[in-house]
Chains A and B, each alone.
Chain A
Amino acid sequence: MTPFIALLARDLRLSVREGGGAALALVFFALVATLVPLGVGSDLALLAKVGSGVLWVGAALAALLSLDRLFQADYEDGSLDLIALSPLSLEGTAAAKILAHWLSIGLPLTLFSPILSVFFGLSAPAVMALTLSLAIGTPAVSAMGAILASLTLSVRRGGLILPLLVLPLLVPVVIFGAGMAVEVQTGLANGAPRFLLAFSLATTLLSPFVTAMAVRLNLAG
């Protein structure tokens, strides 16, 4: 078992044991999908119009929930120092943690979204567009989140500051992700899928390097 797989398996196990892993994020996601209609009204025509956007925002917020634990838990009990010394490079460590976060949070949110789209009366093509856009976009959320999580890992109550830092940077993801739903609604291709894919690929590829740099900066101090 390579160090990468070992770290990946460990993080996945920890996420289930400690935070209930996907469960917390999924429940939060469902709550957002519940609260918005309660706040906005049951007019299904209106809900169908805003549903994709609302679900995208809900998924992004839900994915942020466990982000502060990505590095902080290991930092506080000293495991991060040990991981930094392991044969796996810090970049590889970061990549493993991003993948673990996506597998345990992003992917379940994506798979759960068709069920929640029922609350908004989305059409079948809209549901497919939403699920596909989440599949492409949630890795970017994990990747961008990892950068900010590693930057804030030494901040004691970092959980409060993390959403403030990440959400502005996720504006393109939400815009293009929800934009894919607009494509379905208007029937016109608008370029959203390729922009989302480009942003997601770039973020996912670059994040391990920036994350590793941030971890090094924090461990050095």
Chain B
Amino acid sequence: MNFDMSPYGAFIWPAYGLTVIVLGGLTLWTIARWRAVKAKLASLEKP
């Protein structure tokens, strides 16, 4: 794989970086909400 981006690196890496941040953020948020509700449900169905 070739990582030499000249001279456009300043544009390519931010584009990928933003993508990782947004898509990764959405993924993390989704998983976090899921885990939270599972935990809540478990605590309610336990006693």
Answer yes or no: A and B touching, Cβ < 8 Å: no
Residue ranges of B at the interface with A (Cβ–Cβ < 8 Å): none
Residue ranges of A at the interface with B (Cβ–Cβ < 8 Å): none
